[in-house]
Amino acid sequence: MKHTLLALAALTGFATAASAQEMVFTSWGGTTQDAQAASWAAPFTAASGVNVVQDGPTDYGKIKAMVEAGAVTWDVVDAEFDWALQAGGQGLLEPLDFTVIDKTRLDPRFVSDFAVGSFYYSFVLGWNPANFPDAKPATLADLFDTAKFPGKRTFYKWSAPGVIEAALLADGVAPEALYPLDLDRAFKKLDTIKADIIWWEGGAQSQQLLASGEAPIGFFWNGRLAALAADGQEVGVSWDQNITAADALVVPKGTKNREAAMKFISEATSARGQADFAAASGYAPINTGSAELMDPAVRATLPDAQTAVQVNADLAYWAAHRDEIGTRWYAWQAQ
């Protein structure tokens, strides 16, 4: 989801600042931002006449620097939801205008004064069937069982949410007892496979590690596995105890295009916008009216069809403890 700059086909290039007829949308790049450009930006431009310039990748330090300098050039940003909750409390974001954005149809898990869900996704257990022709991994405990399922494991390097919960669930913690997180227990569990971990830093890398068999089992964004399968790669997926998290749409404090930003978010979170994006990306819509607009076969592959075996990450908890856990997370990786 990171490190690729994209331009909407109708546009002529990138902009460093927005004008009355132009605004800047910043996201993580790759196929996710391609889908956002096609599903949200193109319809918004057609309806409003406001061009949407694509930029990225999302950079939290850059947002903070822009706001503090009074030189904001990003109008709407796709960010991690726990960061958005934290940043709203720190005065880095504009309050959203819910007279423009209809929050009554949005999943309340992903609505706050300063952010609404962009989409939600699940971390899921995935594996390469070629490496496991006999017994198949099925549970998070299997992810930590290197005797029964040998080979390297792969996890997301830049984010502890999801991985910490997975370690605790694999160690026998009940979903309803996850919070507050027992970090000592989680890191002790992770220690058991630390030598076998290959970290993925972006979605494309996670796909390559799995498809090549270099890391034949791991914990992935569900949309990346769906994309591999769509390309003809054999992929094993277990939704058992899939762990949800979300991205959010936010407006940096001090944008000069606040009105256009709110209208863009309204389009992006509409039933149609969310349905089209979900179908293109493999991630779940946050508009409760999107499901009826989607092919049932497509919907069955998305996280919102897996709620019976789903574990919701407590994003408010992560917002409150993001920095302290992050410090320990990166220190542990470096040891």
Per-residue pLDDT reduced to its tens digit, 179-191: 999 999 999 999 9
Instruction: Give the tokens for residue 258.
Output: 């606040």
| Of 82, 73, 83, 4, nearest in space to 36 by CA | 4
Q: How many residues does the chain have?
A: 335
> How confident is the model at residue 159, as a pLDDT?
82
Average pLDDT over residues 203-220: 95
Cα–Cα distance between 18 and 135 in angstroms, integer? 55
Residue 133: pLDDT band with limits 50, 70, 90: very high
The Cβ-side half-sphere exposure at 292, using a 13 Å CA radius, reads 5
Cα–Cα distance between 277 and 208 in angstroms, integer? 23
Specify the range with the lowest mean pLDDT, choosing from 124-128, 221-225, 236-240: 221-225
**Chain CA centroid to CA 161, Å:** 11
> How confident is the model at residue 227, as a pLDDT?
87
Average pLDDT over residues 304-330: 94
Cα–Cα distance between 43 and 45 in angstroms, integer? 5
Give me the chain's average pLDDT, please.
Answer: 92
Cα–Cα distance between 43 and 128 in angstroms, integer? 38
CATH number of 121-244+313-334: 3.40.190.10
Instruction: Give the tokens for residue 322.
Output: 């993001």
Residues of the chain with CATH 3.40.190.10: 22-120+246-308, 121-244+313-334
Q: Express as a percent the part of the chain with pLDDT over 70.
A: 94
SS3 62: helix
- Residue 7 pLDDT > 90: no
Cα–Cα distance between 214 and 322 in angstroms, integer? 31
Average pLDDT over residues 217-239: 94
> How confident is the model at residue 1, as a pLDDT?
41
Cα–Cα distance between 260 and 251 in angstroms, integer? 11
Instruction: Give the tokens for residue 204.
Output: 């494309």
- Residue 289 pLDDT > 50: yes
CB 202 within 8 A of CB 2: yes
Instruction: Give the tokens for residue 103.
Output: 């929050």
- Residue 274 pLDDT > 80: yes
SS3 202: coil
Cα–Cα distance between 270 and 288 in angstroms, integer? 9
> How confident is the model at residue 20, as a pLDDT?
52
227: left (phi over 0), alpha (psi -120 to 50) or beta: alpha
Write out pLDDT tens, residues 27-63.
998 888 999 999 999 999 999 999 999 999 999 999 9
232 CB neighbour count, 10 Å cutoff: 7
> How confident is the model at residue 204, as a pLDDT?
87
CB 87 within 8 A of CB 251: no
| Of 273, 276, 321, nearest in space to 294 by CA | 276
Average pLDDT over residues 245-258: 97
The CATH number of 22-120+246-308 is which of 2.40.110.20, 3.40.50.450, 2.60.40.10, 3.40.190.10?
3.40.190.10
Average pLDDT over residues 288-315: 94
